[in-house]
Amino acid sequence: MLQIIGSFFKTTAGRLRGNGHGALIRGSALLAAAEMGNRVTRILTAVVLARSLSTVDFGVMALILTTYELVRMLIHNGLGARIVQAGADELEDVCAAVHRINWIVGAAMCGVQIAVAWPMQYFFGAEVAPMLFVLGVVHLIYPAGLVRSCLALRENRLGFMAGMLFFQISLDNIATAALAVMGYGVWAAVLPKIAVAVLWVIITLNCVKPIRKVAYTAEKMRNVIAYGRSVLGAETLNTFRANADKLIVGKALGMEAFGIYSFATNTGSGIATGLAGALGQAFLPYLSKGRENSDLRARFMLTVSAMSLVIMPLVTLQVVLAPWYVPIVFGEKWTPAIPALMLMCLGTLSRPLVVATSQLLRAADAVDLEWRISKYNAILFVLAIIGGLPFGVEGVAGALAAVSIIPSMIFARAALSHATRDRSKTPSSTLAEAHA
């Protein structure tokens, strides 16, 4: 078995080197390293906040950041992917339309956050409105540099992307921890985000060359919005999947089970999920070029193999070492979470295939099928939770692991078939054929 795994890793690495993808390898490694660095600073910050804030203040901070992240969901609309996969003849028009839409979305997010600030404060009985007002400014800062950042990704400047990823998240984490120690309380989680946003925009604008500015057209804006609408729908369902299971388990099985399940989810799947997301950014331009070169299938298979090369060893180590490192690092009280944690880890083995499938469909301008697949995944997700609840936390974790691995293979087959075939058939018929 070890010989088979070793042979797989050696073959994949050899194919990447042999095909002249040295820059892609280096960029992917840098993105992976940046994500791991962010994970370390995030853990350290969590420890500092837990020790510096009272229980009430910690809950207020969580409420503020949760509201911010839910509002910020609108920015995950696929417009960046549209720039990456745009043809050279339409790039200027697409960038003009995306820049305009980014400002509209930013203003909308700021307005929504301000609108919900007082209702949130009244409903939860916590003083969160001032923080939400100030944090809403962040939504009006990032649009200034988003198009330039997407252009850097399009140009395969993965080293720059990795550096900005590490800078953006780690500086936020470190500044939050420092302000918490200095006694800023809940504001420690708010103020760094504004400073980081300003610095991110300044660096991006100075390091990425702009393209020629053209006037946006209504037709191009409609085209870009139609593309982004499906991606936004898929990302919304992904967010639902990332959070709804904890709420359902907590309501059905009680707060103790909620704590165990949340710990198992965050500890078991956090690393693999973060790495897969970071690596997915690296491979989107690579897959987009496959559409032009008619070798999309080969590039997709290599993408899955390369991402597995990074993620599979980490997941394997987590599963094998969980019975030892959990009680040592986190304490004996978390020992009951080990079985669920191990099952969560096994479920993340499908992440390379899931992320590669999403990026394949975005590169192939087939985001409608991504939206359909996300809907099917959401349905399976809910059914798995319901089916696993009678068997406790481990039952839910095992059911989710099963629906993460098996359907992802079916959906990947449908996506690959659709992306590499004549577009005369609809996405639904392609998916139906894959199930047949």
| pLDDT averages per 10-residue partition of the chain, 436 residues | 44 50 61 68 68 66 75 75 82 89 91 90 81 93 92 84 86 90 87 94 92 77 74 68 64 66 73 77 74 76 85 88 81 81 89 87 80 84 88 89 87 86 48 44
Could you give the CA distance from residue 257 to residue 311 in angstroms, rounded to a whole number?
A: 28
Q: Are 305 and 8 in contact (CB under 8 A)?
A: yes
In a 10 Å sphere around its CB, with 0-12 CB exposed, 13-18 middle and 19+ buried, how is residue 87 labelled?
exposed
| E strand segments, 262-399 | none
Secondary structure (H, E, C), 92-123: HHHHHHHHHHHHHHHHHHHHHHHHHHHHHHHH
In a 10 Å sphere around its CB, with 0-12 CB exposed, 13-18 middle and 19+ buried, how is residue 345 labelled?
buried
In sequence order, the 6+-apart residues with CB closer than 8 A to the CB of 86 are 94, 95, 154
Output the pLDDT for position 59.
Answer: 60
Q: Which residue has the tokens 């005369």?
A: 424
Q: Are 37 and 168 in contact (CB under 8 A)?
A: no
- Rounded to two decimals, the pTM is 0.62
Please calculate the CA angle 243-246-248 and round it to the nearest 5 degrees.
110
Number of Cβ within a 10 Å radius of residue 243: 14
Output the pLDDT for position 433.
Answer: 47
Q: Which residue has the tokens 């991606």?
A: 231
3-state DSSP call for residue 224?
helix
Q: Are 427 and 411 in contact (CB under 8 A)?
A: no
In a 10 Å sphere around its CB, with 0-12 CB exposed, 13-18 middle and 19+ buried, how is residue 22 labelled?
exposed
Please name which of 395, 359, 350 lies closest in space to residue 377, comparing C-alpha atoms: 350
3-state DSSP call for residue 239?
helix
In sequence order, the 6+-apart residues with CB closer than 8 A to the CB of 204 are 145, 148, 149, 152, 164
Output the pLDDT for position 111.
Answer: 94
3-state DSSP call for residue 208?
coil
Could you give the CA distance from residue 102 to residue 80 in angstroms, rounded to a whole number?
A: 10
